[in-house]
Structure 1
Amino acid sequence: MDTPRDPAFLKRRQRRRWIVGLLAGAAIMSMSVVVSRLEPALPGVTESTLWIRTVQRGAFTREVRGTGTLVPEEIRWITATSAGRVERIVLRPGAEVEPGTVILEMSNPDLDQGVRSAERDWQTAVAQLANQKASLASTRFAQRSALVDAESTYQLAVTDLDLNKNLAESGLVAEFTLKQKQALVDQARNRAELARQQLESTIENEALQLAPAEAAVSQRRAEYERMVRQLDDLNVKSTMRGLLQMVSVEVGQQVGAGVNLVRVSDPTRLMAKVRVAETQTRDLASGQSASVNTRNGFVDGRVSRVDPASEGGTVGVDITLDGPLPPGARPDLNVDATIELERLADVLFVESPAAGQENSTISLFKVVAPGQIARTPVRIGRRSVQFVEVVEGLVEGDRVVLSDMSQYDAFDRLRLQ
């Protein structure tokens, strides 16, 4: 038989359950509020993967860097003076050459025939000149003979006149006869004078009469010599002492006049041709000091020329090398060049971050406490190859992260692990 429970006991038990439930709900609500008010945990980043450097103060050298190749200061392309067929390549690139060294041989049958025809034309012109000279000499001799005859006739007429004058004084010759003799003397003198003038004119005009023939001889000879030179140029020769860099034709190839055949350069006189990013060329100028790294050593130089226009985002710069070339330096060798723009004293600077242009404001993470870094706006100024000037936002001794932190753009603070 069940014993009935006391109603007061049941009521007290139910009251305890309500109180416990209310206390449990209040505790849960309190914990929820506390948790909601807690700051989220900072994202972590491994410190060993970051590039952290210290801000410094001191001397600061502005530099820009470019890459390129070594090229000879003196390069000569030897071209074909006439069309021809490549018969033999005597030397290959890398061979040392002297002036007159035969590099390749060509042939041109038409040019051979042309040389023979030009020689015949020259010899024909020489023969015609000689024939004309002989003809003029013959004419001169005939006129000289006529002058001698005229002078002899004049002398005889003078002698005859003198004789008749003596006879006339004795009354043996009439006055009319004496006048006839005088007329003959005058006639003979005029003929002698005319013959002398004709001879002088012939001698003076010989040069004018020979000029066209002599010009023809000179023209034919020049044409012959030109074709002989072209024929000789079929044996392509070096025009300078140096190194054979390139042979741009092959055996059997037909080439036309003016085509580049071989390239010769002086390997002892090299210069660096480098290209610099157009954003870094604002202060580039001729005469600035430079250092060229050939991978086998460094050589000092100076900027000799800056291209006036940009191409492909870069600007060409020529650097004349002042010091001796390192071992292994040769044309077309890849090099790096560092050009010094200016030197500044007492400047706040840090190593160049991964991003940021000159005279701009960037965000860098700065170490603000042990194990924590915070985003800090930093204004940078002039930039160099390795360092950048700090204008404001940092002080000497600050440690900043220079790595690419774009993946943490959503956070202002990070925890170092």
Structure 2
Amino acid sequence: MAVTACGDDGDSASGADGRETVRVAALPLIDCVALYIAQDRGLFEKEGLDVRIQQIQQSLQALPALAKGQIDMVASANYVTYLQAHEQGTLDIRIVAEAIRAAPRMMDVLVSEDSDIKSIADLAGKKLAVNVLNNVQSLTFNEILQRQGVDRPVYRAIPFPQMGAALDEGQVDAVHAVEPYDNAIQHDLNARVLIDGSSPPVESIPLSGYISTSKYVGGNGETLAAFRRALKAAVEIAEKDPSVVRDMLPTYTKVTEEQAESIDLPLFPPTVDAAQLTRLTDLMKKQGMLKKPIDPASLQQHGEAAASNSPALPPSSRPASASRPRSPSSWPSPRRSSPASARAWASSSPRRAWRPTAPGMRWRGWCGRGLSGWSSTGCWCGGSGGCFRGRRAGGAP
């Protein structure tokens, strides 16, 4: 990764108008959308920060620059890679903020339309493409396979942008793709969803975060507190209006406006949750990706651990005041709602319940019609207002 060296002292430098400079390496993925929303809305500037974003293609590329102090932070850093580097002594990491957690349909295992693979049991011994070997995709999918008592496939490393071609040309039997590649492969090849990569027992598991070093964190507490405030404000904007996320994606990724309308969004946690991160580290230890257990709370910046936050509570755990039905005016906007906001809305009403998408159907938001059947737009309205973009059993939209 080409990075302009700005000093190795680990301290923030003065940027434009006397603001504190924070140098962030970021991938052109949905994981970083809160970073770009905060930049676009002036939230960093409001906090007195001059955040300078440099795009990279893999989070691993930024590891040497982070170790040398050439950058201050890596956004959308793959937790598995950086936790392994921490254990090996390559880098003494600190988790500044979470980026995303798994959500329904944001990553799927896909097969070609005419594939003989009809179930995940058929994947045993077959070639499955993942972006990086021995990383978060195989980690989470192996756990899904174990839960269902199914043998593992043979993993092949193929970058996300090349997965569609590899599947089409028969280089692999299936691909484990994340958005926006997931949606694009389904659209371009009419590929079938074999299984949701966010299925139990890895639902809502943390996938990526904002990673820095203990040296930088130790000398820049106030700067990082300001950074987290701005980032949290951006996440709150995204949760209230997912269309902001969809509008932002084409500005820094190769996602088109049309693709941005249909991709499935991940969960964007407002704060770091050590309990959720422990699910990931325990899984890494179980599968041999870590030699010893790591306590994620020890990797949080001082003062952040007390601010941990979990996803929306299940209905049985909600306070009684949260069970009152809402009026139509408070329904999430159709075709724009994220899975997270939809589940939260559904579980707040005793008359409606969250239902997972059926195979071959894609979440599009709550239409609020309360009807059951196929609409003229090709959406399935599941009776509780859940609008799913998909195909009829016969294949026609």
Could you tell me the TM-score, scaled by structure 2's length?
0.19
Higher CA-based Rg: 1
Could you tell me the TM-score, scaled by structure 1's length?
0.18
Higher strand share: 1
